[in-house]
Amino acid sequence: MNKTFITLLCAAATMTATADEITLFDFEDFNLGDAVAMRDYYSEDGTTKSKAEITSDPSGKAGKVLHVKNGSWNTLAELTLQGITAEEISEYDLIMFDLYRPDSETDDYRQFRCGIGDGFLHDVENEFLHQGAKGQWVKRTYSITPVSSTSDKFYIGFNSVDMEYYLDNIRLVSSSDDYDMNNPEETLRYHADRITVPAKIGIGCAVPAWNDDVVNDNNIAAKTIYNNFNIVVGENQMKPAYLQPKKGEFSWWDADRLVNLAQRHDMEVRGHTLVWHSQTLPWVTSDGYKNDGNGGKGYNREELLQILKDHITTVMTHYKGKIREWDVVNECLDDNQSIVYSQPTKYNLRNSVWKTVIGEDYLDSAFVYAHRADPDAILYINDYGADFKGDAKSEAYYNLVKRLLKSNIPVQGVGFQCHLGLGVDASKFENNVKRYADLGVEVSLTELDITTWNAGDYEQHIRQGEDYRALLEVALKYKHIRNFVVWGVTDDKSWRSPDPLLFKSNYKPKYAFFALRNTLEEWADRAAGIEDIEVDEQLPELSPYVDVYDITGRLVKQQLEREQINSLDPGLYIIDRKKILIR
């Protein structure tokens, strides 16, 4: 590997998402056998019959730990703060520690408490939580709230008469290293905009409709959006039910506000969505479909096609030139796609009003109407549960897209909603989406969110951030992947839970935010560095074998025969220190 690559890789290795963390007590300064006071936090004189002492590690490892047994209700271990004041503690939002319970323990479900002086650091009422595996050390994380206290007495423990437990490495973590969104280099968008190889990447978010804040550029919601994202989509504002609540009566107010925000801040817009079974034209599915003036049978095929055409044409004309891409048809596939096991080229459509009354060709018509209304808009099909290679619905989706293209239907983009949970297998996503390059369509992650298992669990936020990062790496790697759009901004306003997004309710960034920002920054810097090499250095003599790197400088194939270069998977590679695009 040549020197320049080594420099690039070293630079990348130093960039990781970090959070501020301090250790309050690791008990190494205590002596074995030291007693630790236990305090009843409801009684004035405090000390109780409960016992806590410093012992050796029950799992046999070196080091000292705090052992609590023979407890009584409402009783916590009392420790004296060293090197940090009560006030300074309020800068942290999580307490983390290692917990060990003997195998003999029965109950798994206890209330955790901690505090300073007589103030509870922790909002205790609802925190009866599982304490995790027994007979081994487990990591616990709880969120803490600031208290106004000047005491140096720190209290910690579980509210239980019979729980025996060991604690070690009690530390405080500030999970949201804040960022200065007025400094472009600290935002997502700044780095995304610097990326041009292998292609431009859209980094986007859905904007909640009921968020009045987006009209005010000084509001933190608006600021967070326009400072971090270069493409936005209405979470609800452009759905048929919103835009045409009554036949022929269009309501643009919320959707226009979103488009105005985008225009003020030079963001692109995804239109979502023109045809859907859900949040669809209410007068079609309720009055019209079931008991209209058509003999009780609802609109007939011709009428529904006209309704479809009118809706698509009016909406796309209203926003012509302002919307980069439209989800023309949303979620048209059925959840059951077992058909692909017996008939590998088939798919099942969902029984929506459109499919039932018009027939499968409502899809074809919708795309044709859309293309006529705005020939410059990129037309997408969009669906969920089709994200990973090997899942039946993913195969059905691929089959459907191929069928539409074969019929010369102007489908130009394929959206993968990516409503996911912790433990994402990014390689299955990669294997699924990379094959679309051969079809000549672009691909976007359109509604990404990744739920954790327990709200506020920082360990899980780290895993979540790594899942986000792995998907972004895939999106950046392929030229045909255009957008990476997250479905919302703050966790509290998401349609899913727990904790699926990049920001907390107070707009503080989570670990996932830093994971994405660092990845974008890394990518932008490396690509810039590679460009320098081409300009500055002489090419070596051509050898019959080549080392192949991906665009991030990672070795993909060693000593590949030069003639085999064209058999590489499609993508952008670095070969002989030059960018080579394999289509």
Active site residues: 331, 383, 447
Nearer to ligand XIL, 120 or 319 (CB): 319
To ligand XIL, the closest distance from the beta carbon of 244 in angstroms equals: 16
CB-wise, 227 or 330, nearer to ligand XIL? 330
Return the DSSP state at 210. T
Tell me the C-alpha distance between 235 and 228, whole Å.
17
Please state the closest distance from residue 324 (CB atom) to ligand XIL, in A.
17
CB-nearer residue toward ligand XIL: 74 or 330: 330
Nearer to ligand XIL among residue 252 and residue 495 (C-beta): 495
Closest approach, Cβ 382 to ligand XIL, in A, equals 6
Whose tokens are 């990781």? That residue is 16
d(CA 360, CA 371): 18
Residue 152, phi then psi, degrees to nearest 5: -105, 15
CA dihedral 488, 494, 500, 502 (to 10 degrees): 40
Applying CB under 6 A, which residues contact ligand XIL? 235-236, 330, 384, 417, 447, 495
| Token pair recorded at residue 15 | 């960039």
Structure tokens at 349: 């459509």
Task: Return the SS3 of 126.
Answer: coil
Judge contact between 433 and 481, C-beta under 8 A.
yes
Q: How far is the CB of 447 from ligand XIL (least distance, A)?
A: 6
Provide, rounded to whole angstroms, the least separation between the CB of residue 384 and ligand XIL.
6
Spatial contact of 526 and 12, defined as CB atoms under 8 Å apart: yes
Please, is 53 exposed, middle or buried when counting C-beta atoms within 10 Å of its C-beta (0-12, 13-18, 19+)?
middle
E strands, 343-454, where?
A: 378-383, 413-416, 419-421, 442-451
Q: How many CB atoms are closer than 10 A to CB 415? A: 28
In angstroms, what is the minimal distance from the CB of 235 to ligand XIL?
5
Whether the Cβ atoms of residue 396 and residue 346 lie closer than 8 Å to each other = yes
Neighbours of 470 (CB within 10 A): 17
- Closer CB to ligand XIL, 265 or 496, in the complex: 496
Closest residue to ligand XIL using C-beta atoms: 495
- The encoded tokens of residue 337 equal 């796609």
Measured in whole angstroms, the distance separating CA 489 from the mean position of its chain's CA atoms is: 10
The least CB distance from residue 485 to ligand XIL, in Å, is: 11
Peptide bond into 245 cis (omega under 30): no
388 or 523: whose CB is closer to ligand XIL? 388
